[in-house]
């Protein structure tokens, strides 16, 4: 049993170290993505999106490997299962500390990703409104100096002779 515990500890340590490296990389990519989104560089947005997705895919593979280890050793599923697995394989708590550090980085990544999503959503909304104006459908409302709606612009026929 001690040999199996040592092997599991080694496997989990490898997973956590690789996960940490990938999360740090993802955090940097998301920060870089924020700057790229603000510049509207379509080629760079596409390139960084592919890199980000490869990083996320690798993180998912590591998480699946961790969860498979939990199930294989009958620790079950979910956060409690992972904590039990770490406690069993490393009573000193080192693996759990690494896990908590990775969770902190993952939370920062989520915050950056949510922020980037908001930027993309705002840009898409702006483009949709511009297209609606160009097409002459459902024009955006017009606001007075106090911010109250008081009608809308009439449909415009742009670009026709």
pLDDT on residue 151: 53
* 3-state SS class at 34: helix
In this structure, whether the domain defined by 2-136 belongs to CATH 1.20.58 is answered with yes
152 bridge partner residues: 141
Q: What is the pTM of this model?
A: 0.75
pLDDT in tens, the chain (161 residues): 566 999 999 999 999 999 999 999 999 999 999 988 888 788 888 888 889 999 999 999 999 999 999 999 999 987 799 999 999 999 999 999 999 999 999 999 999 999 988 888 777 777 777 777 677 766 556 666 666 665 555 555 555 54
* Cβ atoms 138, 56 nearer than 8 A: no
Place of tokens 């992972």: 82
Q: Give the C-alpha distances (Å, rounded to integers) separating 50 from 44, 55, 111.
A: 10, 9, 19
């Amino acid at each position: 049993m001690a040999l199996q515990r040592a092997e599991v500890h080694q496997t989990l340590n490898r997973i956590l170290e690789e996960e940490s490296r990938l999360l740090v990389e993802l955090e940097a990519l998301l920060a870089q993505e924020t700057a790229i989104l603000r510049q509207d560089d379509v080629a760079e947005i596409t390139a960084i999106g592919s890199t980000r997705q490869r990083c996320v895919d690798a993180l998912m593979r590591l998480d699946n490997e961790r969860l498979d280890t939990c199930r294989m050793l009958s620790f079950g599923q979910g956060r409690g299962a992972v904590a039990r697995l770490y406690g069993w394989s490393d009573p000193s708590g080192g693996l759990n500390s690494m896990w908590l550090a990775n969770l902190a980085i993952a939370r920062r990544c989520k915050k950056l990703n949510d922020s980037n999503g908001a930027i993309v959503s705002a840009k898409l909304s702006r483009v949709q409104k511009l297209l609606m104006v160009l097409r002459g459908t459902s024009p955006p409302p017009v606001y007075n100096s106090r911010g109250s709606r008081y009608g809308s612009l009439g449909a415009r026929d742009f670009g026709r002779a």
